[in-house]
Amino acid sequence: MKLADRHRVAFGALARAPLRTAMLLLATAIGVAAVLVLTALGEAARVYIADEFQSLGTDLLVVMPGRTETSGAGAGMMSGATPRDITLDDARALLRSSAIATIAPLVVGESSVSVGSLERDVTIMGTTASYATIRHWTMASGEFLPDVDMDRESPVCVVGSTIGSELFRGEPPVGRWLRVGDRRCRVAGVLARQGISVMVDVDTVVMIPVAMAQSLFNSAGLFRVLIQARSRDVMPAAKRFVLATFRQRHHGEEDVTVITQDAVLQTFDGILGALTLALAGIAAISLLVAGVLIMNVMLVAVSQRTQEIGLLKALGARRSQVLALFLTEALYLALLGALAGVLAGFAGIWLLGNLYPAFTFRPPVWAVLGAVLLSMGCGMLFGILPARRAARLDPVAALARR
Amino acid sequence: MIVKVWPTVSPQSRSSPTPDAVAILRLEQLTRIFAVGDQFVRALDGVDLSIGTGEYISLMGPSGSGKSTLLNILGLLDRPTSGEYWLAGERTSTMNDDRLADTRQREIGFVFQFFHLIHRMTAVENVELPLMLAGVPMAERRARAHEVLRRMGLEARVDHRSNQLSGGERQRVAIARAVVMQPKILLADEPTGNLDSVSGGEVVKIVEALHDEGLTLVVVTHDQAIGSRAHRRLLMRDGKVVQDVSG
Ligand SMILES: Nc1ncnc2c1ncn2[C@@H]1O[C@H](COP(=O)(O)OP(=O)(O)OP(=O)(O)O)[C@@H](O)[C@H]1O
Ligand SMILES: [Mg+2]
């Protein structure tokens, strides 16, 4: 039997049972589309986070209190013992290294902020002028915090664009005064709008000098110290220097954690990569379900077409020919279903992209290829049982079936 | 009479065949036993039979006497439980599955009581099926199928599906399908059993015309009138051939 004929017969059989064919195509398509959409989601999350961290700069080190064995995001907060505070003096000591270009101490807390009778609870970030340099932040208007000694509590602040226009009812905030807790400060500038960056909504923060934040929250300890190395190459030297400095200042104890962009990125990458895989796995299960469905429907098809199989054998069809015919049918179902699924998947991804333009939705190539191959594999695997059953039918009994 | 030394088959003569022309089928002490639960049914109980090339044979007998069982074994759709069956001088018991299928394809045409057309295919596609299985290219097999259907008087029906055909037309399509590979033997199991007498008569005429061209013909029937037209009439009872009348 010619290959083209085998395909023609298989296709004819599928075309003549449109409902059955449509159901199977749908099942397979849903599975494949699910793989594409879910992996695209996972990838979007991964790329988004990676971009976020990339925007911080790759020459950045972050010091946080507490010792941890593993490097990575948030790891410092997981250690048990209460670590010694990182003080402003500690931070200042870091500037002695030639590997370090600049540092920015950071204190974070919540406080009420008010202008007249208008009051809001906002995130307060206490830092210095170099923070804007390190984060590459730009201003919508006015200036960032003044470049003065970090001990000084100059009564100035910088507001995020949203909180600025809320508090001042749309009037220009620069030069106006606002209340942070029990303190007053003059607005030096408004941050350019940039949305959520590294989990903080920049548009709704109020930034004040680090010393003011320390007394506002009544704590000498810093939340983080951001360090910009002079170049990527001196990052290891900078890190060694930071650790040595803290060991010396903290009586020989290495009770801080220094994380680099790479480490954070790798951790997130790892977590999100695993997430994408898990999503792909979940979607793959739906493909298996589709495979089982194909098997069941093919088994029904075999029993419905028992007479036809008996006839083919009476006409001289070999077992292998009958087997090939039914396998071709199953393969067709899988292939067409996969194609439909790829189309549907990309349509869904396009839709997601329009709904959430901030994210880049793109299914990884391995997921697309994998989904198509897996569905073909399922088609074959689950097609074999019915096809073998067909091939082994006893022609006399098959023909006698009414 | 059993011939021990089997002559090789020479090209069949297309002139009027004689009963003792070169034997094409030969059965020796053939039995077929079916197991039904813990019971055994002797559907064939020691059949000795020799059929010459170009013979026209009717096979009659009461229901359950083993006619279909015998025909299925002759057509290589079933294997005997014991005994030997030679087809065109070749022992069939040593053939493997593929060989049986190939032999079936080349040598044997089947016609069934219930036609067994594939409904989703047109008449000509049904007739093309054996050619397709044999790997004959599209253009050639379409031409051959058309030619055979034309000879069955069905040129106006080639593109009809089986549900658009009458019973008689369906059986003629089935006959066309059975002979399109130009087999040597045509086995028909109650080909008129599902037809009115007029259509049945047409079907008989067609298979007899095919026999006139040299086809060896074995027809199972319950119809005395049809059975008596054969040149050799076999009567079966309880799995045995109890009567074998020629002339
Ligand atoms: N697959 C089978 N399993 C069990 N018994 C069978 C099988 N096929 C046939 N038989 C039995 O073998 C015997 C002969 O059956 P067969 O079909 O050959 O009879 P038949 O002469 O063709 O009858 P009919 O005229 O009704 O078609 C019957 O008793 C039947 O019940
Ligand atoms: Mg019968």
Position A323 in a domain: yes
CA of A397 to the centre of ligand 1 (A): 11
* Helix, strand, or coil (residue A140): strand
Please give the pLDDT value at position A196.
67
Q: Return the structure tokens found at A305.
A: 């077409």
Instruction: Write out chain A residues lying below 8 Å of B104, CB-based.
Output: 313-316
Query: Are A88 and A208 in the same domain?
Result: yes
Q: How far from chain centre, in Å, is Cα B221?
A: 12
Residue whose Cα lies nearest atom 18 of ligand 1: it is B66
Please give the pLDDT value at position B14.
37
Query: Are A250 and A228 in the same domain?
Result: yes
- Below-50 pLDDT ranges, chain A: 71-80
Residue B12 has pLDDT above 60, yes or no: no
Residue B66 has pLDDT above 80, yes or no: yes
Query: Are A233 and A297 in the same domain?
Result: no
Query: Are A109 and A245 in the same domain?
Result: yes
Query: Are A370 and A274 in the same domain?
Result: yes
Count of domains for chain B = 1
Please give the pLDDT value at position B8.
38
Query: Are A290 and A364 in the same domain?
Result: yes
Query: Are A383 and A316 in the same domain?
Result: yes
CA of B41 to the centre of ligand 1 (A): 9
List pLDDT tens digits, range B125-165: 999 999 999 999 999 999 999 999 999 999 999 999 988 99
Length reported for chain A: 402
Determine the atom of ligand 1 nearest the C-alpha atom of B70. 18
CATH number of residue B91's parent domain: 3.40.50.300
Does the CB atom of residue B47 touch ligand 1 within 6 A? no
Position A57 in a domain: no
Query: Are A248 and A323 in the same domain?
Result: no
Please give the pLDDT value at position A366.
85
Please give the pLDDT value at position B32.
96
Position A178 in a domain: yes
Gap from B114 CA to chain A (nearest CA, Å): 9
B226/A53 Cα distance (integer angstroms): 92
Position A74 in a domain: no
The whole-chain average pLDDT of chain B stands at 88
Q: Return the structure tokens found at B188.
A: 């028909």
Please give the pLDDT value at position A320.
92
Query: Are A169 and A300 in the same domain?
Result: no
Rg (CA), chain A: 32
Position A75 in a domain: no
Judge contact between A154 and A126, C-beta under 8 A.
no
Residue B20 has pLDDT above 50, yes or no: no
Count of domains for chain A = 2
- ipTM here: 0.85
Q: What is the pTM of this model?
A: 0.67
Distances in whole angstroms, Cα of residue B179 to Cα of each of A312, A360, A400, B207, B210 = 15, 65, 22, 10, 9
Query: Are A296 and A228 in the same domain?
Result: no
Distances in whole angstroms, Cα of residue B245 to Cα of each of B59, B68, B220, B236 = 11, 20, 15, 12
Note the ligand closest to the C-alpha atom of A394. Answer: 1
- Looking at A254, A286, A302, the residue that finishes a domain is A254
Q: Which domain holds residue B113?
A: 2-246
Of A205, A200, A125, A115, the C-alpha closest to A159 is A205
Which of B39, B68, B242 to mutate to test ligand 1, by most ligand atoms within 8 A of the CB atom?
B68
Q: Which domain holds residue A287?
A: 3-52+266-399
Residue B236 has pLDDT above 90, yes or no: yes
Query: Are A209 and A272 in the same domain?
Result: no
